[in-house]
C-alpha cells in the first residue's frame, strides 16, 4: 500500500528497522529497570551497566536483522 502511494522501498525498510530498534530499546530498558531495581537480580546488579547495554543492544539488532531477512 505504501509503495502504491509513492514510498520508496528503501525508506520503508529503514523506517521499519528504526521502529523495531526503538521497540527493542524500550523493551530492554523496562526489562533492565525491573531486573536491577525491582527484583535486584545479582546478574544485573554485579555486571557493568555499559556491558549489559552493549550485549543486549547487539543481540536486539541481530534479532531485528534476522526478522527482516526472514
If one counts the domains in the chain, the total is: 1
Residue ranges making up the domain that contains 44: 26-69
| Domain assignment of residue 47, yes or no | yes
Residue with the larger pLDDT of the pair 55 and 5: 55
Q: Is pLDDT of 53 > 90?
A: no
> Could you tell me if residue 14 is inside a domain?
no
Give Rg (Cα) of the chain.
Answer: 16
Is there a domain that residue 49 lies in? Answer: yes
Q: Is residue 46 part of a domain?
A: yes
The model's pLDDT over 12-32, given as tens digits with 9 standing for 90+, comes to 889 988 999 899 999 998 988
Q: Is the pLDDT of residue 60 over 80?
A: yes
Residue 53 lies in a domain: yes
**pLDDT category of residue 69 using cuts at 50, 70 and 90:** confident
Using alpha carbons, list the distances in angstroms from residue 51 to 35, 47, 70.
15, 7, 29
Amino acid at each position: 500500500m505504501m509503495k502504491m502511494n509513492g514510498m520508496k522501498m528503501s525508506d520503508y525498510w529503514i523506517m521499519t528497522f528504526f521502529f523495531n530498534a526503538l521497540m527493542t530499546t524500550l523493551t530492554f530498558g523496562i526489562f533492565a529497570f525491573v531486573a536491577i531495581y525491582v527484583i535486584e537480580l545479582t546478574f544485573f546488579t554485579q555486571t557493568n551497566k555499559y556491558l549489559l547495554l552493549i550485549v543486549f543492544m547487539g543481540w536486539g539488532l541481530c534479532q531485528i536483522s534476522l526478522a527482516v531477512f526472514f
